[in-house]
Amino acid sequence: MDRSPTEAVCVPGIVGWRLVVASVFFGLVLAALSVPIGAMSPWSAGVRARPPTPGRQWHWFEPGHAILYTERGVAGLAISGYSMVPVPPGQEHIYASHYTSLEHSDVDRRPPWAVAPYIGKNEVVLAVASGWPWLAASGRERHETSNPAVNSQLALARFELGGQQYRVPYVPLWKGLAANTLFYAPFALGVLVLLSWARRAHRRRRNRCVACGYDLSGGGAVCPECGYLDRRASAVAMSGE
């Protein structure tokens, strides 16, 4: 139905609420994609290849067991590995000759995403978190020292690709995921604005409505299909008269 100029509807500018919502959505998609990219990226290959061989290690005691902890990391990937070793009550020392650097700590140095409960056995836990610029997902892998075949993955996808072992976590770290989404959203918004501008310019060159694409070859500044008033095209037409 045709509309008169007084009934014309002016669609908001290029940056409308739809583009803002879309940019947040694509920001979330990019934040999620940063998890496998960080876990499998070439720059993290050194950390993946030797997670048990750290530069520094710490140990401390908790009721019934000791924890020997190490960590490695690069941008986009962090790996925390530790052993939970049963010790008799009251024991205040531990002998570990195969560790080159072992420092005692009075506090738990593990990040929250790496902590696994002690179940009374000698276990090794490998915790992985990835995402960029902030860690956005985590997962853990644990096995018994006496029986390495008893292995369990907790929120961790482990697979081999091209002769390389990969561990990709998939439990969200909500604060990091939200921060990454806000980080990527402006970039997504910029791309969407450029695409929207290019589409509008293309439609204007073909004498079509920039809002819905309706053919305006018949003349008039108001689109008879959606009622959009193209102020720029109208101004150009008036200046040419």
Whether cis (ω within 30° of 0) applies to the bond prior to 133 is yes
Among 19-23, 34-38, 207-211, the minimum mean pLDDT is found in 207-211
- Which residues are CB-neighbours of 174 under 8 A, at least 6 positions away? none
Residue that wins the pLDDT comparison between 225 and 239: 225
Percent of the chain with pLDDT strictly greater than 70? 77
Pairing of strands 137-144, 171-172: antiparallel
Answer whether residue 112 shows pLDDT above 90: yes
- Within 10 A of 72 (CB to CB), how many other CB atoms are there? 19
For range 24-53, the mean pLDDT: 88
| The pLDDT value given to residue 235 | 53
Among 52-61, 108-117, 121-130, 211-220, the minimum mean pLDDT is found in 52-61
Residue that wins the pLDDT comparison between 196 and 55: 196
Answer whether residue 11 shows pLDDT above 90: no
3-state secondary structure of 139: strand
Domain ranges of the chain: 5-14+184-240, 38-178
3-state secondary structure of 228: strand
Query: Please, which pLDDT band fits residue 4 given cuts at 50, 70 and 90?
Result: very low
Q: Are the C-beta atoms of residues 167 and 39 closer than 8 Å to each other?
A: yes
| The pLDDT value given to residue 97 | 52
Residue that wins the pLDDT comparison between 55 and 103: 103
3-state secondary structure of 121: coil
Among 34-43, 78-87, 100-109, the minimum mean pLDDT is found in 100-109
